[in-house]
Amino acid sequence: VTAMMGSVSPRQKAALSREEKKAQTRQKLLDAAATVFAHKGFAGASLDDVADEAGLTKGAVYSNFASKEELISALLEQRLGQPSLAFPKLISPHATQAEQAEQAAHMFMNLLANERETYLLDIEFMLYRARNPGMHDSTNYVARRDEIARTMEARAAAEGFELPMPAKDLTTALFAIGMGLALERMVNEEHVPEDLFGRVLGLIFGNVQPAGKDKRSQPTGKDKR
């Protein structure tokens, strides 16, 4: 039934083509879905909620997605699938371990502050998968983890220190720590001070002997409180 013309298709008039408009609608729906699902959960949010949030009707949802489940999948893929969270490359490579830990922790905390929705979705989806084993991972966990693991290994080799445990396990642990602290912080902000993640990182990496030199960089942790 659908024509589904090849790639470009010549267009003379201005304004949006049908295809472009549809893509725009789809994106509106996905954005709305992110907000609504983060606030109410996959099971708790209705497609009416999503459509209202997008300023559209439920029919628009079914015109763009086959079912509620497919909307969820598409959302997760778009929001969690890319290695956008794979920020370790952004960290200055030549700083001390303590400085790098602090930088990483800072970036993480910023991300958490600005992308609360994303974390809620991520955790919700992990729960969902814990309950429905065998489901496809739309978030590309393994790919994201392995990319970071490789980056860390390369850094360690280049800078001449040893990671405190195999890179994949380390990355898994760091993800888990971030997730756990994020969850606790979202529930009760004052339980998880801004710098806690950084201090934990400092302890974990603090054990790293810089191979040659005996520069024991203990990040001190301003432990007032």
Binding site for DNA (CB under 7 A): 1-5, 9, 11, 13, 15-19, 21-22, 24-26, 45-49, 51, 56-64, 67-69
Q: Which does 162 bind (CB under 5 to 8 A by kind): DNA, a copy of itself, none?
A: none
| CA 13 to chain CA mean position, Å | 40
**Whether the Cβ atoms of residue 11 and residue 17 lie closer than 8 Å to each other:** yes
Least distance to a copy of itself from the beta carbon of 180, Å? Answer: 3
The binder of 187, among a copy of itself, DNA, none, by C-beta within 5 to 8 A per type, is a copy of itself
In the complex with a copy of itself, the residue whose CB is nearer, 64 or 138, is 138
Closest CA to 186 of 112, 107, 105: 112
Rounded distance between C-alpha atoms, residue 141 and residue 57, angstroms: 33
CB 42 within 8 A of CB 126: no
Residue 216 beta carbon to a copy of itself: minimum distance, rounded to whole angstroms: 9
The option from a copy of itself, DNA, none interacting with 62 (CB < 5 to 8 A, set by class) reads DNA
Residues 186-225 that bind a copy of itself (CB under 8 A): 186-188, 191-193, 196, 199-200, 203-204, 206-207, 218, 221, 223, 225
Q: With CB cut-offs between 5 and 8 Å by kind, which of a copy of itself, DNA, none does residue 102 bind?
A: none
Q: Which CB atom, from 51 or from 120, has the smaller least distance to DNA?
A: 51
Q: State the Cα–Cα distance between residues 11 and 6, nearest whole angstrom.
A: 13
Distance CA 202, CA 102 (A): 8
Q: Is the dihedral of CA 19, 42, 193, 86 positive or negative?
A: negative
105 near a copy of itself, rule: CB under 8 A: no
* Burial (CB count within 10 angstroms: exposed 0-12, middle 13-18, buried 19+), residue 10: exposed
Please state the closest distance from residue 192 (CB atom) to a copy of itself, in A.
Answer: 6
